[in-house]
Amino acid sequence: MDCLTLKKSNCKNCYKCIRHCPVKAIRFSGNQAHIIGNECILCGQCFVVCPQDAKRIVNEVEKVKVLIQAGMPVYASIAPSFIANYDGVGIEVMREALKKLGFADVEETAIGATYVKNEYERMLREDERDVVISSCCHSVNLLIQKQFPSLLVYLADVMSPMQAHCADIKRREPNAKCVFIGPCVAKKDEADHYKGIVDAVLTFEELTNWLKEENISLKQEMIPEAQSRARFFPTTGGILKTMKQDAPGYTYLALDGVENCISALKDIEEGRIHKCFIEMSACVGSCIGGPVMEKYHDHSVVKDYIAVSGYAGKEDFDVAQPKTDEMRKRFSFIEKESKMPSEIEIFNVLRQMGKFKPSDELNCGSCGYNTCRDKAIAIIQGKAEISMCLPYLKDKAESFSDTIVKNTPNGLIVLNEKLEVQQINTAMLHIMNLRNANDVLGEPVVRILEPSVFMQVLHTGREVREQRIYLPQYKRYVEQTIIHDHESRMLIGIMRDITEEEGNREKRDSISRQTVEVADKVVEKQMRIVQEIASLLGETAAETKIALTKLKESIKNE
């Protein structure tokens, strides 16, 4: 079941989801994020951190409505974290509200949690196990199934509280349908994978929206109960708080957050931990830090813990414990498609990323991977692209722009708004007879150029385009363009050296003047000759004068 979907039009290629994904189960292709199903542990962190709401949780409200409309009794099992999500609202109020939606009845999943903790206690007393890892958190179960298959023998083969409670309801009401309501994305996958126990899963967000649609409000009212200690389950250490912790030789430990769980699993894998019961929760703060509460609730682990603590009793629920066989749950290895590449393949990709030696590997994490090597492995596995490396893109862009700036024949000078030189290229150094850019970088431009045109552009906002000026101190003619870039707050000066052009133009003007002078002399001489032979040539003289005059004007125009 694809519990998490992606709205591609919303994905802006920001890599925030991969940076927060603890198992890097996100692939980027075509500038879009794709969740890798057989690697994802459904912790929901990508959903929580996505700034564009590109990650969506599959909504099952319509499925539940169909179950209710079918006429079968539909029971709701509501996670004990509801007291933190709905401030001051007790189970009696929730029961009343959900019955208005059509549910036959509402019970607390904490009842199932009591069955589970009783089974954990029996297991530690009777089964002679070494390390036992709690199996309440489906994301932790998936983590072990996909990332640490050798540790499956340590995962408690016991139903989750959700399953234990729904199975109990169906034993009591054989025709009943069960809907779990909680703060967890992974429970949707757990319900779908283990058929016949939980018929649908709603998040607190889905329930809240449904109640709003039906104009059903929740009043703040709680009735304390002494026999409700399992309500502590959704907090870090909550399982341990309900257990007796008296199994001989065992150490009891609670961990939250996927990173902490992975660290402990590695220690177990390497044989450094023995005779230990470990409560593991993927979410920081355990279930009260669940992904749906994280995103849509005014989340505070301390405040939410106080809410749970204030509602939980000091004694267990009064329950009839199911048989051990009825509580059994089997876990199997889920093989990942991605294979580990060879060292040569990794080395080649690192070279493509511009990482030629260890000092080139910044390990900045901007791409979402902890190290450049991890990123290279992801590229080979088809999960990442070289362009995701921001330092690589920055260096590439700078290298490209630097190549253009260095090799353009035009002089370039960049000033800040204080008219201090920030950048100058080789062509501009040549125009100004400077040896090194460091001689002027950071210095006022007045040291090398008349600043009035820059001040004019800065104060008026009007650009200067292709203005021809003479720089007497450098004995050069230039054609200058001055631009003010408001975003970067920089003044950019572009100067084309036209000294040679001006020299050639002056030569052409000189030749033209000389030609005109020669033409004048020729005309004068011809006129004298014409006057002498005017009587002989008649109209021919006038025509000759006109032709010579036109020749003179033509030369002048050139």
Average pLDDT of the chain, as a whole number:
88
Which string of DSSP letters, residue by residue, matches 31-100? TEEEE-TTT-----HHHHH-TT--EEEPP-HHHHHHHHHTTS-EEEEE-TTHHHHTTTB-HHHHHHHHHH
H or E segment and range at residue 517 = helix 499-532
Q: Could you tell me if 314 and 226 are in contact, meaning their C-beta atoms sit under 8 angstroms apart?
A: yes
pLDDT > 70 in the chain, percent: 91
The tens digit of pLDDT for each residue in 455-490 reads 999 999 899 999 999 999 998 999 999 999 988 889
Residues, the chain, total? 558
Which residue has better confidence, 71 or 404? 71
Q: Which of 83, 122, 76, 115 is nearest to 99 (CA)?
A: 76
Q: Where are the domains of the chain?
A: 59-327, 340-406, 408-497, 512-557
Q: What pLDDT shows up at residue 144?
A: 97
Alpha helices in 82-219 (DSSP H): 82-85, 91-101, 110-126, 138-147, 161-172, 186-193, 204-213
Q: What pLDDT shows up at residue 369?
A: 81
Enumerate residues 6+ apart whose C-beta is below 8 A from 423. 405, 412, 413, 414, 437, 441
CATH architecture of 340-406: Orthogonal Bundle (1.10)
Q: What are the b/e assignments for 118-130, b being 16+ CB within 10 Å?
A: bbbbebbeeeebe
The tens digit of pLDDT for each residue in 289-311 reads 988 884 445 668 888 999 999 99
Q: Which of 187-191, 280-284, 427-431 has the lowest mean pLDDT?
A: 427-431
Give the up-direction half-sphere exposure of residue 81: CA atoms within 13 A in the CB hemisphere. Answer: 31
The tens digit of pLDDT for each residue in 330-370 reads 999 998 767 788 888 888 888 888 788 887 777 777 677 87
Q: How far, in Å, CA of 291 to CA of 137, rounded?
A: 13
3-state secondary structure of 158: strand
Instruction: List the beta bridge partners of residue 412.
Output: 494
Q: Is residue 129 very low, low, confident or very high in pLDDT (cuts 50, 70, 90)?
A: very high
Fold of 408-497: Beta-Lactamase (3.30.450)
3-state secondary structure of 130: coil
SS3 readout for 367-426: CCCCCHHHHHHHHHCCCCCHHHCHHHHHHHHHHHHHHHHHHCCCEEEEEECCCEEEEECH
* pTM of this structure: 0.70
Q: What pLDDT shows up at residue 244?
A: 94
The tens digit of pLDDT for each residue in 197-230 reads 999 999 999 999 999 999 999 999 998 899 999 9
Which residue has better confidence, 34 or 179? 179
